[in-house]
């Protein structure tokens, strides 16, 4: 009995002592999440900072790394969480999704000539080559798109970041690129923003291998509550508008 009480006491102390949380972020996903001059920047970085400023027992720092590495580290429990994954059922086996943070609108990027005759996504895109950032879920383009990739009706090309995928389209190595509508394409004048195809919601993905993080449930609960408040009071909308 004494051992149980001692364990509860130690866990409680760990939970309520001030904790510095390191979150992994995608280093190559501007304007949402990126690394510039060695610093973490982007919409999600600002939102998460604002949320943690309302959590008195927690501080946050960011480690901006390659997306696939962030996924691998979260799966292994080498980080408490990463951002900003979209929800997918297969990811629920290794991550707990936070309260939805904000909505992103996926669109098609392409050269004007390549868009001729393309009206319905993804049906009209059979036989084409579509680029996605490496590690992005196929659900970025929706369930039909995912199935067409798996059935090899559409060829998937992966690149490391936004600019690399846009360069694939510029050089005609890929026909289309799918990502968020806020992506800067000013360095690619031959490419334009085309049809909207899907709304995707970004989260923090907390690891399910939580042995090293006895405070994780407390953090998740408090973070989710604050994000809900920030959505209601317009704080997140104000941050997003700065990037439009």
- Rounded Cα distance between 152 and 162, Å, is 23
CB 190 within 8 A of CB 111: yes
Band of the pLDDT at 15, cuts 50, 70, 90? low
- What confidence tens digit (pLDDT) does each residue in 72-122 have? 999 999 999 999 999 989 999 999 999 999 999 999 999 999 999 999 999
- The reply to whether 2-101+203-241 and 104-199 are identical in fold is yes
Backbone angles phi, psi at 139, to 5 degrees: -70, -5
Q: What is the CATH number of domain 104-199?
A: 3.40.190.10
CATH topology of domain 2-101+203-241: D-Maltodextrin-Binding Protein; domain 2 (3.40.190)
Averaged pLDDT of the chain = 93
* Structural contact between residues 191 and 114, judged by C-beta atoms closer than 8 angstroms: no
Domain ranges of the chain: 2-101+203-241, 104-199
pLDDT over 80 (residue 124) = yes
Tens of pLDDT, residues 31-67: 999 999 999 999 999 999 999 999 999 999 999 999 9
pLDDT at residue 8 is higher than 50: no
Q: Quick one: average pLDDT of 3-9?
A: 45
3 pLDDT tier (thresholds 50, 70, 90): very low
∠ CA 235-219-70, nearest 5°, is 85
In the prediction, which pLDDT does 172 show?
Answer: 98
Which pTM was predicted?
A: 0.83
């Amino acid at each position: 009995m004494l051992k149980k009480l001692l364990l509860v006491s130690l866990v409680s102390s760990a939970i309520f002592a001030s904790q510095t949380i390191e979150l992994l972020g995608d280093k190559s996903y501007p304007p949402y999440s990126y690394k510039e001059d060695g610093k973490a920047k982007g919409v999600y970085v600002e939102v998460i900072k604002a949320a943690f400023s309302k959590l008195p027992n927690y501080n946050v720092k960011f480690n901006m790394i390659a997306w696939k590495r962030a996924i691998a580290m979260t799966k292994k429990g080498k980080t408490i969480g990463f951002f900003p994954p979209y929800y997918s059922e297969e990811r629920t086996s290794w991550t707990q999704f936070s309260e939805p943070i904000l909505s992103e609108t996926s669109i098609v990027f392409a050269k004007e000539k390549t868009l001729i005759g393309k009206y319905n996504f993804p049906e009209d895109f059979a036989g084409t080559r579509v680029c996605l950032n490496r590690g992005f879920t196929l659900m970025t383009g929706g369930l039909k798109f995912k199935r067409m990739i798996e059935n090899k009706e559409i060829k998937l090309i992966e690149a490391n970041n936004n600019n690399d995928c846009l360069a694939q389209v510029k050089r005609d190595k890929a026909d289309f690129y799918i990502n968020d509508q806020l992506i800067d394409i000013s360095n690619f004048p031959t490419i334009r923003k085309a049809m909207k195809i899907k709304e995707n919601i970004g989260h923090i993905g907390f690891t399910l291998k939580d042995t090293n993080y006895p405070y994780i449930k407390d953090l998740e609960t408090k973070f989710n509550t604050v994000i809900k408040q920030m959505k209601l009071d317009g704080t997140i909308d104000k941050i997003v508008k700065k990037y439009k």
